[in-house]
Amino acid sequence: MQRLETTDLKEARRSRIAQFSGRSATLKLGGSMVTGMVRSVQEDKSSETPRWIVTVIPKQAKGQ
């Protein structure tokens, strides 16, 4: 399970849609690309700029 942080509202929305539809998603967060099932999307209200913590269960590559 990976926890990623984003300040991009568009990525947060895509993550939330993937979470509720049950589809895997490819997200580009923090300069890295992760493909997998979105487990949770939580808004972090402790900072002045809006940011979201996205928890993803990465999809295993074939043959592993």
What is the rounded distance in angstroms from the CA atom of residue 30 to the CA atom of residue 21?
A: 23
Q: Evaluate whether 56 touches 2 at the Cβ level (below 8 Å).
A: yes
Place of tokens 């939580």: 42
Alpha-helical regions (H) of the chain: 9-21
Q: What average pLDDT does the chain have? A: 86
Confidence bin at 36 (pLDDT 50/70/90): very high
pLDDT, residue 40, reads 94
Q: Which of 42, 45, 46 is nearest to 55 (CA)?
A: 42
pLDDT attached to residue 52:
93
pLDDT for 34 equals 86
Q: Where are the domains of the chain?
A: 2-58
In angstroms, the CA 14 to CA 61 distance is 22
Is the pLDDT assigned to residue 2 strictly greater than 90? no
Task: Give me 20's structure tokens.
Answer: 């509720």
The pLDDT assigned to 64 comes to: 53
